A and B are shown apart, each in its own frame.
Chain A
Amino acid sequence: MDNASFAVEARQLSRDYVSSKRSHLVGKKKTTVIRALDQVDFEIQEGELFGLLGPNGAGKTTTVKILCTLLEPTGGKAFVKGYDVVKDAAKVRRIVNMVAGGERMLYYRLTGRENLEYFAELYDVPKREIKSRVNTLLGLVGLSERADDEVEKYSKGMKQRLQICRGLINNPEVLFLDEPTLGLDVNIAKDLRKFIREKIVEEQGKTVLLTTHYMFEAEELCDRVGFLNKGKLIAVGRSEELKRKMPTGFSIEVLVTRLTDDALEGLKRLEPVKNVLTTAYEGEAEDEKVDRLIVNVDSDRTAPEVLNYFSAMGCRVVSVNIRGPTLEDLFMFYTGE
């Protein structure tokens, strides 16, 4: 128990994935090493909701799996409540749980209640407590009425809510939520976020590590965030602190059509413009391709100048949104992507 001051601590944490493949049946084996996590350092305080953000393949799930003992790191160390996740794995398993997004990790032919009772047995929950704990959890996520239906008859949202119950069945001190709202309807995802913030963190005081690639989700929920990109942790802190580090104070989000390369290059050279990011936008306006630009400027008063530039270059502005920096802007700022 050397590192008991933090709920979770990662020190120079690294993970390589090694895969070997033959080019043909008797060919020589070709070994590929992919560094999924590269000397990552961070810590999470007791009772904190920490967000690990990044695109697909950034290393978020790898981090979570190492911290909940499902994967061994190839370098560095990690501690949960002071316990080494490799050496004291058995102790770590008693105080953590993990919920992943998607529809897996449940037994479909068992009912919701049977699933929870089964996991309660695995976690050695006292016999006399199982029934009441299962009922309480099912009630918390609004599944009491469907508790005795087989999970295969559940909707995606119901399965995800049941997963949350499974994650809480051992009353863990640290809960890892790996993309918990993945693929859920907007309303269900919103309810789930509210549940995580209000019930799990504020009411029960649990420490939560949440991974997501939805920046707004982290903005809404997390006390602090860390940006992971290509296995490296590129920034950690409170979102407000991180935003203050951005060299520009405002973002003009513009949807335009008829944008040419020359117009884009000219925009970057405009006096008030500090940075321009182009991001993918799926959609068309009056059968024309739409480009989404995030133009970073010092002051919102410079917006008319930017918009006039588009008109002068023959671009048609479809929509404009002027705002302070978001986590998405921050992420793009740090990664340059």
Chain B
Amino acid sequence: MFWRVVFAEIEKNIKQFFFTSRILFWTLALPLGNGFYLYFLYLPFAASSVSLEFNVSWYTLDLVGFTLIGQLLYTFFTMMLLAGTIFERDREQGTLETLLLSPANRLAVIFGAALASALNYVWFLFGILLSWVAFLGVKIIVNDFFALFASVVLSYVSMVTIGMCFEAFVICSRRGVMFATILQEPVMFFSGLAFPLQAMPRTLLSISYLIPLTFGLLSLRLTLLGGASLFDVAVPLMALAFMTLVFLVLATWLVGYAERSAKKKATLTQF
């Protein structure tokens, strides 16, 4: 029953919300454009590489790769935050009621919806990765493919669980989308999206380490551009795994709470 609902949700959401040529074009064009914007910010400094300190080691990373990885993962993060808008639209068109009228597992519903957003992202992720190498000459240095795989999967899954939390939040609140929008700028700053974390004042670093995106960026940059091993990125990967678990538990609790609250406050329809 759980997986039937997950697959049904994925199929429905992709057909209903994502598969139009315009959406496919803009989800490809916008992050790429923003990535170039970040890249060109560095050009006046005539730098071609970024020095990144992690775990007392120093890594020299390709500048284009550094900024584009930041942009790619950040886009995924915002996409997951905005996955909640699926339920905002469901509420407007009355389908949130039909969904919750059914006995379908609620966690499966939000998991399926988040995965649909995630799949929508994957298609251009590979396209962009290829274009980096082909057109921008990004120097990819991978020494440990398992470390890279673990970094990709854990970054991806942690973002999906964040998306699930936001979806659950939107079920009981019309402020979900606004909250997601407000979160974007601070996360962009604290995660080290556009600059290495060692440039951040020490007092602010503790905030950075509360954000899964920070660890996702670290592990991906180190394993894809810096040739880091699984041992080198063990700390960010463990942090990501822990945060994924926390967000999963939170999403499970929140979806139950959201439904109960919405039924008490009568907010399942547009209000």
Contacts and interface: CB of A to CB of B under 8 A. Distances in A.
Nearest to A93: B103
Interface in B248-267: 260, 263-266
Contacts of B7: 121
B175 interface: no
Interface of B is mostly: helix
A122 B95 contact: no
- Classify chain A's interface size: 20 to 34
A118 B4 CA distance: 10
Interface string A66-94: 00111110000000000000000010011
Given A93-B103, A121-B4, A166 B98 contact: yes
A240 interface: no
A68 B104 CA distance: 14
Interface in A101-147: 102, 104-110, 114, 118-119, 121-124
A229 B197 CA distance: 65
Contacts of B99: 122
B266 A124 contact: no
B8 interface: yes
B102 A119 contact: yes
A109 B103 contact: no
Contacts of A13: none
Contacts of B204: none
A18 B265 CA distance: 8
Contact of A104 (B5, B95, B102): B95
Given A98-B101, A107-B12, A124-B4, 4 more contacts: A90-B103, A102-B94, A105-B94, A105-B98
B117 to A, nearest CB: 16
Ranked 6 nearest A-B pairs via Cβ: A104-B94, A121-B8, A122-B102, A122-B104, A105-B94, A93-B103
A303 interface: no
B181 interface: no
Contact of B101 (A70, A102, A108, A114): A70
A105 B98 CA distance: 6
B162 to A, nearest CB: 25
Contacts of B1: 124
A99 B110 CA distance: 24
Contact of A70 (B16, B100, B260): B100
A14 interface: no
B16 A110 contact: yes
B103 A105 contact: no
A95 to B, nearest CB: 9
A108 B266 CA distance: 25
A100 interface: yes
B266 A71 contact: yes
Contacts of A93: 101-103
B15 A72 contact: no
23 contacts: A17-B266, A69-B263, A70-B101, A71-B268, A72-B264, A94-B103, A102-B94, A104-B94, A106-B93, A106-B95, A107-B12, A107-B15, A107-B93, A109-B16, A118-B8, A119-B102, A121-B4, A121-B8, A122-B99, A122-B104, A123-B104, A124-B4, A124-B104
B263 A122 contact: no
Contacts of A239: none
A97 interface: yes
A272 to B, nearest CB: 49
Interface in A7-21: 17-18
A124 B15 contact: no
